[in-house]
Chain A
Amino acid sequence: MNLQSEIPLEYMIVLSTAVFFIGLVGVVIRRNLITMLMGIELMLNAVNINFVAFNHYLFPHRLEGHFFALIVMAIAAAEAAVAIALIINIYRKFSTVSVDDVDELKY
């Protein structure tokens, strides 16, 4: 299946940009650490779309974007694992997962 004639690359990228910024809004507005993490996941996925789309549209003879996306996923998994471990630890310490209360590391 060749999408090039059907859907221009720009659509894909605009879509990914939109998702990226939605994820950003999520990170900025939510104070719950877990929801912030979800926002970050959204952003990561947005980037993945880019990789994949560029691979598919511009360099179909190679697999770099594909592998990059794969690696990003792996890293996202590792990040999520560590982040969740941190969140649980923070919850134990502060009995909350709100970033507002976790601001010890300042000036």
Chain B
Amino acid sequence: MNPLLYLLIIPGLTVAGITLVKDMKQVRLVAAVGMSLQLLWSFVLLYWFYQLRAAGHTEEMLFVSSTTWYEAFNIQYKFGVDGVSMAMILLTSIVTFAGIFASWQVAVLTREFFISLIILAGGVFGFFISLDLFTMFLFYEVAVIPMYLLIGIWGSGPKEYSAMKLTLMLMGGSALLMVGLLGIYFNSAPDGGPLTFDLTEIARIHIPRDAQLFFFPFTFVGFGILGALFPFHTWSPDGHASAPTAVSMLHAGVLMKLGGYGCFRVAMYLMPEAAHELAWIFLILTTISVVYGAFGAIWQKDLKYINAYSSVSHCGLVLFALLMMNETATTGAILQMISHGLMTALFFALIGMIYGRTHTRMIHEMGGLMKVIPFLSVVYVIAGLASLGLPGLSGFVAEMTIFVGSFQHTDTFHRVATLVAASSIVITAVYILRVVGVLLLGPVKNEHFHELKDALWFEKLSGVTLVVSIAAIGLAPLWLSNLIREPLGQMLHHLIN
């Protein structure tokens, strides 16, 4: 059996296990075991992947298998991975693992919570390994729908409103996406012959230019909404603010990455001509995203809002780099997805933990937390430093790759856009340091805070996993960068010509 399928089977079995066991403690134990296995399996896959590559398997995708699912429309379960999807799988399993431990203390409807969470993660895994547009779309929906329940039931604040808004906006995106995907499908055989959803097949075919120009915006915006493309990003602040910790982590950490990944793998890869012709529009939008998100974050008072706007800025950078369409910038974009995934997951985990203690997320109501909860505070500072691009942590690697790559573009427009986007690093520093200053440093503002307990073991595990991942990428980025870069050469060759 295809080893990739275990990425779907393990979550499936975990869900089944959760339904069988008795109480909350067992539920979370099963969930933790399942997701640890998943993490382990991702590393095994990575190892195999390297071995196969080393053994001279140079084909585009590895571990490919294909089963016809619905013959009339030529829909298949087609799975396979390249370096980029391998990296995304790794990211997903790390974030899910950390997410399980971050939600260790969910007391209301624990069973249902973990089931939804794991289904969400399973959808994401399915998305990243799919090579068939229809299956991809299916898993995309599988990942988006549990979000509604997770926010609507276990959220906080105006959770119904936020859940509704998030789901509706993402569904709006799906609708656009559906149009785009069907457009690709019906143009997948311009010279006659059977239509296909197969991504690798379509990549070999030249979709007619008019069709590309028409369907590219649908596909790109459809995925872009999930990737928080300005001005379709407003689900993100509200959604994140209301979502429970693990959901914010998974959502910002992984689900938003589906957007960037889809924009690249589907929209741009399959419709290169349109990508070239329309890139400038989206480039302007993403440049706005980058700077606008950062400026927006400065003025926020709620920790989650700050982070949500910062996500808009950072995810904007992902799409920005993708649109540069060269190898270095694209590598940077994927690196940025992973880096942002890890560090934003860390941020949300910490915010959840802090909120669980102080029962507020307003930064002005807190202060001096460094003194009372040093572990969480130090990790928060590390996350902040990663976010503002400190060398040695992942953010720096990603951002620098993006900036250097984007600057290789000879066109003045692109380079000016790069400079504008690069200026965001200063603004990022401003809002990160502002939060750190107000929240963690200074005198303790509230007398009750003196009684706060520092992180418990599962919180530490969750935080340390993410910090180690961030540092691992930041200190030794070459392996990841090479892993990602390896398939890109071919893809970009296709994209550029």
Q: Do chains A and B touch in the complex (CB under 8 A)?
A: no
